Amino acid sequence: NTEPLVLGIESSCDETGIGIVRGSILLTNTVASSMEEHVRFGGVIPEIASRAHLDAFVPALKQALDEAGVTLEEIDAIAVTAGPGLAGALMVGVSAAKALAVATGKPLYGINHLVAHVGVGLLDDCGIEGHTADFLDGLPREGLGALLVSGGHTEILAVRDITGDVELLGATLDDAAGEAYDKVARLLGLPYPGGPAIDQAAREGDGSVFAFPRGLSTRKFMGTVEEPGPHRYDFSFSGLKTAVARVVEGFEARGEEVPVADVAASFQEAVVDVITQKAMLACAERGIKTLLLGGGVAANSRLRELTAQRCAEHGIKLVIPQLSLCTDNGAMVAALGARLVTGGRQPSGIDFTADSSLPV
């Protein structure tokens, strides 16, 4: 097999991910998460995440090499998330990758985390229905977009060439959607991480009980798009979080029981409505015909449902990788790294630095 054997390293948040691919074939995707250590704080603590990466890195690397049945010497290239993400956390992965590259003499590629989320589509077996290996090659002509929703980011991307021509159409101005889920869960006394807890609680509730704000919304009613404006594809979830807090406080002040399920469902409806609405707007205006949904919040049942429904209404093909490839992982970094190798891209060298706000 002449396809490059690539080691991918991801450490931008609380997951220490090591992935190994042979071209478009996934050999292993090892993930060690420090989530448990953040639970009592109700959110990822950067310093704890960095230390956890230090502890997890070597065991995760050994396990990945073991599972893939390859040695470090056999690896053709090393790819590592250079950003965006938590600065200290990124630094652990980048430093480790540089050390490996220097010790082995292998070429090193610094990878953009957001682009890597789309890069999982380069894998043959990424869980996308009807998927073929040339997925990302054929798509630019058809217009590929990505909707990334996680605890650390919320973005809409236009992908014309995965190896270099990706445009950030919109992003959150404050909290990420997953972060909003985590904060609202805390307000409602639900466990961390809040996403799954709210998803669950919302099933018993009515999402139309509370009319929570859709931050930066560009439309009044579905289908009626208002005139272009700033932050057209951007998100803001801090006002929504505050609105939920007000409602919860109101019930508590009156000595009434908080209707957790209805608040959870109404909050979720607001998040999912504005995310899907903006994604559809971007697709319509930017000629996007295929939309890839990624990030940990892709697990959300209502997001999946409403995205599927609105994509169908707008004639957009929706693709969702398997969940282990939606959440942060090393395989996506390796997959994109392999494509850079086969595309003849120059390695980054070892001079690049981790950049917490690395642009796409």
Residue 187, Cβ neighbours under 10 Å: how many?
Answer: 18
Residue 241, Cβ neighbours under 10 Å: how many?
Answer: 22
194 sits near ligand KG4 (criterion: CB under 6 A): yes
The reply, when asked if residue 199 is annotated as ligand binding, is yes
88 sits near ligand KG4 (criterion: CB under 6 A): no
User: Nearest 5 degrees, angle CA 7-CA 38-CA 360?
Assistant: 45
Q: Which is nearer to ligand KG4, 123 or 177 (CB)?
A: 177
Residue 194: contacted member of Zn ion, ligand KG4, none (CB under 5 to 8 Å, by partner type): ligand KG4
Q: Which of 14, 234, 269, 328 binds Zn ion (CB under 5 A)?
A: 328
Q: Which of 24, 34, 150, 266 binds ligand KG4 (CB under 6 A)?
A: 150
Residue 88: contacted member of Zn ion, ligand KG4, none (CB under 5 to 8 Å, by partner type): none
d(CA 261, CA 264): 5
Q: Which is nearer to ligand KG4, 11 or 327 (CB)?
A: 327
Q: Of 179, 199, 191, which is closest to residue 265 (Cα–Cα)?
A: 199
Q: Which of 19, 83, 207, 296 binds ligand KG4 (CB under 6 A)?
A: 296
Q: Do the beta carbons of residue 168 and residue 146 sit within 8 Å?
A: no
295 sits near ligand KG4 (criterion: CB under 6 A): yes
Q: Which of 21, 114, 201, 297 binds ligand KG4 (CB under 6 A)?
A: 297
Q: Which of 13, 240, 274, 292 binds ligand KG4 (CB under 6 A)?
A: 13
Q: Which of 299, 334, 338, 340 binds ligand KG4 (CB under 6 A)?
A: 299
The window from 182-190, 222-230, 327-335, 352-360 that contacts Zn ion (CB under 5 A) reads: 327-335
Footprint of ligand KG4 (CB under 6 A): 13, 150-152, 178-179, 181-182, 193-196, 199, 295-297, 299-300, 327-328
Footprint of Zn ion (CB under 5 A): 150, 328
